Each structure stands twice: as structure tokens, then as C-alpha cells.
């Protein structure tokens, strides 16, 4: 971003009494000047009267013989239960508490003010959606706080229903403009109608922005989740029906130097169940908040105009026309329909892409890559090695256009970061190496929690810090995914020099398809895939990896390939994919084996089964990254294989059953395994070459001298 003026809010707050800050007179700018203030009280009568809810009630009345009055009062009471309010005194008091907590535990909240100014300048004439990334509970509280700080009307937030049951907190959040929706609607048509109407009315008439998390839930793994389309499609309904001129979507990235929930997430990734949200847990979390949580970086992305997004391709007809020519649009259930669904999908993926494009990378992200890679081979990593790796990666990220907060001297920043993560890793001063603290938990609650995982104590102890680190390494994988894939394809090809642009694209597409769920890679826009591919080659030219820049658009230049090979850099990029590809290959192998005994498994059962089997593999295998135990990875792999037609899913009673299509599985397995052997070889070679022991000795000698 050429325009960036980073501002530390906390710095400013430290210089003033926060009580006086929170009680400042406040004249917020309105994201949609044509709207009005709307709270649940205003919405209830409108929702009750709406065609959508009326029709649904009538149907329930007819089919299920539910009396209308009862239905009406149930609509009313559920709205009273879930709806949002806007209580300024509560907002101010929460703000004061928040100021206190933030000041105590955070080093800085760094906001790119230019990006906010840009967004503010573009707001005003139509409805706005704030779409922040979701990595922590803190996200929406922080968002509202920022809006207060930058004089933007507090957005109405669609929050997950699990927060509602929290004692006091549920109520407080509702006073601060949050409303709650269930994670799934099941078959509850009335509930769906109520929510659809709620969202639609907010978009049409509210003067403030609607905020929701397009990923649907907090990502445990540190990288984006596949977008959910339900809420987005509801929110865009007024646009597609021509009720509003446009909708502006503002992708927002919030990056935590240390995420509040990192240890919880590590445990959940290892298979411990998600604890029920409760105020008790929150208070405990607040107690945890004695540590230093570093900095938070907030960046507002380029606002997306839904109208422009939809008219970018002149050939396609304005979808709104079809919807509006319908004779009875609520009855016919024409919305969203296949075309609108497709647009909503395209749009949602674009939002996620933008959220990632504007992410800020911090020392911890970059060093986590190096540390978690080499700790798979050795029990400690020389600081020097980490430093070289970090420099490499910093350069790569910069070439890819990301903003990286890592100053020279790099060593100092690494040591700073190590301090912040002292719970999982530390610097052995004597050896000048980075080591891990094995073991799982700091508090008794946490150790109880993780024991609910089905893995053995031994495995958990070893895997926990690795998984923890991987959460921080993952965003880097996501950021570099395209060049990672190309690098992998090139490194592991039997004959690199025989690649043509077409064959290279074919292999790139194959691995992109394989990793589409893991790294939210959109597969339905062929132009986008082509673009990503071409850009990745450009980036590799710039990075002097394999390719030489060429003017011929249809060809690739591999003439300098030997001169351009940089084994260390290659190994690092290979390392980024290592856990994922290894995991995916193993999972495929295990499924084929498992299902040769019992052909059908329920999905739920299969996940834990796989995790257990993977644990066995680790205990006998060589250099299998422990992150393959991550439930997230297992679920993603299953989803990806289903999308690729290697697995078949079907509903059996309550549960989802899975069966492999063995022929497809085998063909994928073949492609994958040969390459994986080479990948492991190359990484190992790199490890041998840099021979840590030698490194240590040298350092030792240097120290002595």
C-alpha cells in the first residue's frame, strides 16, 4: 500500500484519561446517510408485517396447524431475544473497561489511518458491510472500539448465537449493537425468514454498517476459512431486488501479534472439543490477560462496490432485471437462484482475498515457519539459521506485495518475538539455538481440556507446541501459496527443463485444486486461476527462482534454471507445503487402507480414526510433520477430496457417510507420492547441508575466540 499512515491508537490513549476519552462528545459519520437508526424495537413490527414472514407463518399455520397468534408471538419473542439495541451509556462503559484491558495487555493497536480515511470517503450514499477477518473474540469488540475512535457509527454486528447464552455478556453485547444468529438454521423456515428479513431491513434502511464475519466462525488455524455464503446472500438480496442502489463491502484485516485464543485453538486443532462459551471462561480469559499480547494491526481494504463487481463483465446481463421481472418474487423462491449464488460466491472469495492481501506480517509469523520446519528434524534450530530464513521470507513477502513489520537488525526482532512466545519456545542463550517447551498446558483447565482429545499424552506433549507455532506460520503459507505450489512443482518434477507453460499450468492447477480448501483457492473463475499463475511466475522471476523474465507471454524461460536455483530458498518454500502435502498423502493412503476393510465410515468417526492412524504413522515414520494431526487439516483434506471426486458423501440417518472412489484416489495418490519423496529428500538435503551441529560448533568457536 503506497498510502499508509500507521497510527498507534494505544499510544494516544496512554496520553489521556480514558474516561475522558470514552465520554467525549461523539458525532459519528454515517456509513449510509439515506438510512435511519434502527434497533430491534423498530424492526419487530416491520418483520411481522413483511411478506416473507407472513407467508412463512401462513404456511406453518396451514401445514402444521400452528395457530397464527402463537406464531406471531413466537416471532416477537425470538426477536426480542436476539435483536440488537444501541445503548450509548453501555457502549461507553464497555469502552472504558476495554481501554483499561487494552492498555494493560497490549503494546499497540496500529491502524492504517489512510485506509480508514479512504473508506470513510467512499461511504455515505449506500449501505455498507464491514467484513473483518475472524481470528479472535476480540475482533468485533475491537471493531466497535475502532469505529468509536474514528467517529464512525457503531456497526450492527451479526454474532454467533453461542455468545448469547453467556451470562451478562450476551446482554451487554446486544446493547452494543450485536444481534445473534444460529450457526445453522436447520429446517426452521420461520427462523430463516426472520433472520433474512432482519438482515434485509438493516441493509435497506439502517444508517449504520452491517458487520459480519464471512468465514462464519473464528479460524483456528490462523489462515482463512472457506467463506460462508448464507448471510452474504441475505445481505445482498436488497441489492439484487433493486431496493438499494449499491452495497459497499469493506474487507478488513485484523492481525494479532499474539492471538488471545492461540493455546485454546492449538488444543482444539489437536482434537479437544470446542468449549461452550461462558462468562466464566471469559473471566478466566481475562485473568490470562496478564501477559503481553503484543500489537494488533488493523487495515481496511479497498471497498468493493457490489454493483461494479457485478457489472465488471459487460457481457453478463444485469441479474437484477431477471429478479425484478418476476411476477411474484417471494412466492417463487427465485432468490438467490444459481446465477446470484454464483456472484455471491465470487464476491465472497474476493472479500477473503482482499482480507489476506492487506494482512500485516510480523516477525513471529515468519520465524514460526522456519522454527516449525527445522524442528521436525532436530530438537533445536540455530538462531543464525532462523535469521537467514526470516530474511529470505521477508524478501519474498515484500516481493509479493505484503506489508511486513520487521526491521533490522532481524536478530533483535526474533529475540523479542521469542520472549513473547516464551510459553512454547525459547532461546537457549548458551547454544544460541531456538528450542521448544514440550508439554501442553499452563493452567489446570487447559490440561483437562486437552485430555479430551483422543491422542496419547506423549503425542500431545510433542505436537502441541508445533501446532501452536503452525498457527502463526500458516498465514505465510497462505500468502505465498501460488509460488509455493510452483516451486514445489518445479522442484519435484522428474525433468524440470521439459516444462512448457501449458504443462506447468496443468500441474499448478492440479495442486491448486488439491489445496483449494486448505488455502481458500477459488476454482470457479478460470481467469483468476490464469492470473494467479502468471503473477506467480512473474514473482518467481523477480525472486530469481527458476524463471527468467521473458517477453513472450505464451512461454516460460527456463534457460538459466541451474544458475537460478537457490536450494535454501527452495527448501524453505517446500517446507511451507510440507505438513499439508504430507498430511494429504497420508490421509489418502490411510483411507484406502481403512476402507478396504470397512467400506463406509461416518464422517465424524472417520476424522478421529484418521487422526489416530496418523499418530501411529508419526511414531513409525520419518520426518512426518506433527501438524498432520490437526483436525483442521484432516477435515480440509476430506472436503478437498470430496470436491475432487475421490470421496463420496451421502446422508445416512443423522450422520454423513463417506466412501472412497478408489480409482480416483489412486490416481491422485500416484501424482502426490512420487513428488513427496523428492520433497522430503530436498528438505533433508538442505538440513544436512546446513548441518546444524556444524553451525553450532562454528558459533561456539566464534564465541570462544
Partner 1 sequence: MDKQTSNEKSEKSRKESGQSVQSVIPKNRQELLKWNGWGYRDSQFTVKNGLVQFTGKRYPIGEAVLPYFTQWVCDIFDVDLSAEVKPQPLPKEEDFPSPVIVQAFLAEIEMLKIPYSLKGIDRLIRSHGHTLNDIYTLREGRYGRMPDVVAWPDSHETVTKLVEIANHHDVVVIPFGGGTSVSGAVTCPSSEKRSILSLDTSQMNRILWVDEDNLFACCEAGIIGQDLERELRERGFTTGHEPDSYEFSSLGGWVATRASGMKKNTYGNIEDLVVQVRMVTPSGVLEKKSQVPRLSCGPDFNHVILGSEGTLGVITEVTLKIRPLPLSKKYGSIVFPDFESGVCCLREVARQRCQPASIRLMDNAQFKFGQSLRPSHGYFGLLLDGLKMAYITKIKGFDLAKICVTTLVFEGDPKDVELQEKKIYGIASKFNGIPAGEKNGERGYMLTFVIAYIRDLGLDYKVAAESFETSVNWDRVVSLCHNVKHRISQECEARGVKKYLLSYRVTQTYDVGCCIYFYFGFNWTGVKDPLNTYETLECIARDEIIASGGSISHHHGVGKLRSKWYPIQVTDLGVQLYKATKKNLDPNNIFANGNFINNSHL
Our CB check for partner 1 shows the closer of 307 and 423 to be: 307
- Residue of 315, 325, 328, 526 that binds partner 1 (CB under 8 A): 325
Residues 229, 230, 234, 236: what is their CA dihedral angle, to the nearest 10 degrees?
0
User: How far is it, in rounded angstroms, from Cα 237 to Cα 243?
Assistant: 9
Question: Is position 612 an interface residue for partner 1 (rule: CB under 8 A)?
Answer: no
The stretch among 68-76, 170-178, 315-323, 347-355 that binds partner 1 (CB under 8 A) is 315-323
Q: Report residue 457 CA to chain centroid gap.
A: 29
Give the strand pairing for 108-112 and 295-300. parallel
User: How far is it, in rounded angstroms, from Cα 482 to Cα 535?
Assistant: 9
What is the secondary structure of 80-94 as a DSSP string?
A: HHH---B-HHHHHHH
- Residue of 33, 77, 100, 245 that binds partner 1 (CB under 8 A): 245
What DSSP character marks residue 524? S
User: How far is it, in rounded angstroms, from Cα 646 to Cα 668?
Assistant: 8
* Backbone dihedral angles phi then psi of residue 485, each to the nearest 5 degrees: -65, -45
- Residue of 241, 297, 335, 508 that binds partner 1 (CB under 8 A): 241
Instruction: Tell me the closest approach of the beta carbon of residue 125 to partner 1, in angstroms.
Output: 6
Instruction: Tell me the closest approach of the beta carbon of residue 333 to partner 1, in angstroms.
Output: 18
Residue 15 CB neighbours (<10 A): 8
User: How far is it, in rounded angstroms, from Cα 28 to Cα 702?
Assistant: 60
The stretch among 141-149, 238-246, 505-513, 567-575 that binds partner 1 (CB under 8 A) is 238-246
Residue linked to cell 425484478: 324
- Residue of 23, 316, 324, 500 that binds partner 1 (CB under 8 A): 324
178 contact partners, CB below 8 Å, separation of at least 6: 84, 140, 156, 157, 158, 159, 163
Instruction: Tell me the closest approach of the beta carbon of residue 525 to partner 1, in angstroms.
Output: 23
Question: Is position 45 an interface residue for partner 1 (rule: CB under 8 A)?
Answer: no
Q: With contact defined as beta carbons under 8 Å apart, do 124 and 214 qualify?
A: no
Could you give the 3-state DSSP secondary structure of residue 249? strand
Question: Is position 244 an interface residue for partner 1 (rule: CB under 8 A)?
Answer: yes
| Total residues in contact with partner 1, by rule CB under 8 A | 16
Per-residue cell: 529? 486461476
* Backbone dihedral angles phi then psi of residue 695, each to the nearest 5 degrees: -50, -50
Our CB check for partner 1 shows the closer of 242 and 645 to be: 242
Our CB check for partner 1 shows the closer of 34 and 278 to be: 34
Instruction: Tell me the closest approach of the beta carbon of residue 112 to partner 1, in angstroms.
Output: 26
Instruction: Tell me the closest approach of the beta carbon of residue 119 to partner 1, in angstroms.
Output: 17
Our CB check for partner 1 shows the closer of 98 and 244 to be: 244
Helices and strands per DSSP (H, E), number in the chain: 30, 17
- Candidates 288, 25, 335; CA nearest to 138 is 288
Question: Is position 673 an interface residue for partner 1 (rule: CB under 8 A)?
Answer: no
- Residue of 56, 115, 126, 348 that binds partner 1 (CB under 8 A): 126
Residue 352, CA distances (Å) to 140, 346, 555, 652 in order: 17, 10, 31, 33
- Residue of 70, 291, 318, 562 that binds partner 1 (CB under 8 A): 318
Instruction: Tell me the closest approach of the beta carbon of residue 37 to partner 1, in angstroms.
Output: 15
- Residue of 63, 69, 321, 598 that binds partner 1 (CB under 8 A): 321
User: How open is the CA angle 465-468-470, to the nearest 5 degrees?
Assistant: 110
Instruction: Tell me the closest approach of the beta carbon of residue 105 to partner 1, in angstroms.
Output: 44
Our CB check for partner 1 shows the closer of 246 and 673 to be: 246
- Residue of 320, 567, 659, 696 that binds partner 1 (CB under 8 A): 320
The stretch among 227-235, 314-322, 478-486, 639-647 that binds partner 1 (CB under 8 A) is 314-322
Our CB check for partner 1 shows the closer of 71 and 234 to be: 234
Instruction: Tell me the closest approach of the beta carbon of residue 248 to partner 1, in angstroms.
Output: 11
Give kind and range of the element (H or E) at residue 487: helix 481-491
Question: Is position 34 an interface residue for partner 1 (rule: CB under 8 A)?
Answer: yes
Contacting positions for partner 1 (CB under 8 A):
34, 125-126, 204, 241-246, 307, 318, 320-321, 324-325
Amino acid at each position: 500500500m503506497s498510502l499508509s499512515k500507521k497510527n498507534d491508537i494505544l499510544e494516544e490513549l496512554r496520553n489521556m484519561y480514558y474516561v475522558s476519552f470514552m465520554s467525549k462528545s461523539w458525532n459519528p459519520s454515517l456509513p449510509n446517510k439515506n438510512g435511519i437508526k434502527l434497533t430491534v424495537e423498530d424492526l419487530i413490527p416491520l418483520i411481522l408485517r413483511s411478506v416473507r414472514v407472513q407467508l412463512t407463518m401462513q404456511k406453518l399455520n396451514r401445514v402444521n396447524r400452528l395457530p397464527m397468534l402463537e406464531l406471531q408471538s413466537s416471532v416477537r419473542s425470538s426477536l426480542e431475544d436476539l435483536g440488537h439495541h444501541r445503548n450509548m451509556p453501555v457502549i461507553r462503559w464497555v469502552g472504558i473497561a476495554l481501554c483499561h484491558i487494552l492498555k494493560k495487555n497490549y503494546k499497540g493497536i496500529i491502524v492504517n489511518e489512510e485506509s480508514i480515511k479512504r473508506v470513510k470517503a467512499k461511504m455515505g450514499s449506500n449501505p455498507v458491510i464491514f467484513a473483518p477477518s475472524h481470528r479472535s473474540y476480540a475482533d468485533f469488540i475491537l471493531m466497535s472500539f475502532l469505529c468509536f475512535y474514528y467517529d464512525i457509527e457503531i456497526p450492527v454486528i451479526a454474532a454467533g448465537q453461542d455468545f448469547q447464552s453467556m451470562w451478562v455478556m450476551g446482554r451487554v453485547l446486544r446493547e452494543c449493537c450485536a444481534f445473534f444468529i444460529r450457526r445453522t438454521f436447520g429446517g426452521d423456515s420461520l427462523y430463516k425468514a426472520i433472520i433474512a428479513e432482519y438482515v434485509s431491513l438493516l441493509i435497506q434502511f439502517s444508517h449504520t454498517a452491517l458487520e459480519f464475519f464471512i468465514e462464519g466462525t473464528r479460524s483456528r488455524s490462523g489462515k482463512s476459512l472457506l467463506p460462508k455464503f448464507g448471510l452474504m446472500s441475505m445481505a445482498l438480496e436488497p441489492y439484487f431486488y433493486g431496493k438499494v442502489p449499491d452495497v459497499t463491502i469493506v474487507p478488513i484485516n485484523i492481525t494479532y501479534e499474539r492471538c488471545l485464543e492461540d493455546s485454546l485453538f492449538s488444543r482444539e486443532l489437536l482434537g479437544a472439543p470446542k468449549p461452550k462459551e461462558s462468562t466464566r471462561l471469559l473471566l478466566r480469559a481475562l485473568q490470562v490477560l496478564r501477559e503481553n499480547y503484543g500489537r494488533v494491526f488493523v487495515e481496511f481494504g479497498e471497498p468493493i462496490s457490489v454493483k461494479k463487481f457485478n457489472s465488471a463483465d459487460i457481457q453478463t446481463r444485469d441479474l437484477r432485471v431477471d429478479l425484478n421481472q418476476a411476477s411474484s418474487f417471494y412466492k417463487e423462491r427465485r432468490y438467490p437462484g444459481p446465477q446470484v449464488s454464483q456472484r455471491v460466491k465470487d464476491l465472497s472469495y474476493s472479500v477473503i482475498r482482499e482480507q489476506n492481501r492487506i494482512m500485516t506480517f510480523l516477525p513471529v509469523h515468519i520465524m514460526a515457519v522456519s522454527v516449525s520446519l527445522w524442528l521436525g528434524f532436530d530438537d533445536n534450530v540455530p538462531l543464525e539459521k532462523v535469521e537467514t530464513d526470516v530474511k529470505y521470507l521477508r524478501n519474498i513477502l515484500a516481493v509479493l506485495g505484503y506489508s511486513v513489520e520487521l526491521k533490522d537488525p532481524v536478530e533483535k526482532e526474533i529475540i523479542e518475538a521469542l520472549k513473547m512466545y516464551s510459553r512454547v519456545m525459547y532461546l537457549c542463550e548458551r547454544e544460541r539455538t531456538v528450542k521448544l517447551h514440550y508439554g501442553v498446558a499452563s493452567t489446570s483447565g487447559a490440561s483437562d481440556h486437552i485430555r479430551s482429545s483422543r491422542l496419547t499424552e506423549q503425542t500431545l506433549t510433542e505436537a502441541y507446541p508445533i501446532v501452536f507455532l503452525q498457527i502463526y506460520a500458516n498465514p505465510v503459507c497462505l500468502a505465498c501459496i501460488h509460488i509455493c505450489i510452483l516451486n514445489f512443482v518445479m522442484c519435484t518434477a522428474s525433468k524440470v527443463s521439459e516444462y512448457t507453460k501449458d504443462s506447468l499450468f496443468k500441474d499448478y492447477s492440479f495442486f491448486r485444486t488439491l489445496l483449494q480448501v486448505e488455502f481458500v483457492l477459488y476454482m470457479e473463475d478460470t481467469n483468476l486461476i490464469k492470473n494467479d499463475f502468471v503473477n506467480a511466475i512473474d514473482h518467481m522471476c523477480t525472486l530469481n527462482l527458476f524463471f527468467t523474465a521473458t517477453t513472450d507471454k505464451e512461454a516460460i524461460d527456463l534457460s538459466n534454471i541451474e544458475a537460478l536455483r537457490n536450494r535454501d530458498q527452495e527448501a524453505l518454500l517446500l517446507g511451507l507445503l510440507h505438513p499439508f502435502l504430507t498430511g494429504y498423502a497420508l490421509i489418502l493412503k490411510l483411507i484406502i487402507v481403512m476402507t478396504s476393510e470397512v467400506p463406509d465410515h461416518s464422517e465424524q468417526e472417520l476424522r478421529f480414526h484418521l487422526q489416530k492412524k496418523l499418530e501411529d504413522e508419526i511414531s513409525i515414520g520419518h520426518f512426518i510433520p506433527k501438524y498432520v494431526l490437526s483436525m483442521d487439516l484432516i477435515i480440509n483434506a476430506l472436503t478437498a477430496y470430496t470436491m475432487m471426486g475421490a470421496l463420496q458423501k451421502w446422508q445416512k440417518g443423522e450422520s454423513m457417510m463417506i466412501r472412497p472412489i478408489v480409482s480416483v484416489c489412486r490416481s491422485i495418490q500416484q501424482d502426490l507420492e512420487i513428488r513427496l519423496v523428492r520433497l522430503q529428500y530436498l528438505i533433508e538435503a538442505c538440513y544436512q547441508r546446513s548441518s546444524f551441529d556444524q553451525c553450532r560448533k562454528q558459533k561456539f568457536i566464534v564465541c570462544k575466540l
